[in-house]
């Protein structure tokens, strides 16, 4: 539900799935690769405290969206505020 609007607005997307369920997102990325140019949908896997935090700290990341717990959202907010 978040991928479509981001792509329709002309953005590229980096998905960081839960470390507990990465295969679903990787399968989605494989399907997207058949339809979209390279680099439009990207997947980065790993643990949230290391990979996710590093991702949202990047100045090039203009928006972060989360489907998860309030605690995870607070961690993302804190990491993004350090960027």
Each residue's pLDDT tens digit, 2-26: 999 999 999 999 999 988 989 999 9
Question: What was the pLDDT predicted at 68?
Answer: 86
Token output for 41: 């949908």
CA 30 to chain centroid, in Å, comes to 15
Which among 83, 67, 77 is positioned nearest to 21, based on CA atoms?
67
Question: What was the pLDDT predicted at 44?
Answer: 94
Specify whether the CB–CB gap between 79 and 53 falls below 8 A. Answer: yes
Query: Is the model more confident about 41 or about 67?
Result: 41
Q: What's the whole-model pTM score?
A: 0.84
């Amino acid at each position: 539900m978040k991928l479509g609007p981001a792509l329709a607005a002309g953005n590229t997307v980096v998905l960081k799935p839960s470390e507990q369920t990465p295969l679903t997102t990787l399968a989605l990325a494989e399907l997207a690769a058949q339809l979209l140019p390279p680099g439009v949908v990207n997947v980065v896997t790993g643990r949230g405290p290391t990979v996710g935090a590093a991702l949202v700290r990047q100045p090039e990341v203009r928006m972060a969206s989360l489907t998860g717990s309030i605690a995870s959202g607070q961690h993302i907010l804190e990491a993004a505020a350090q960027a």
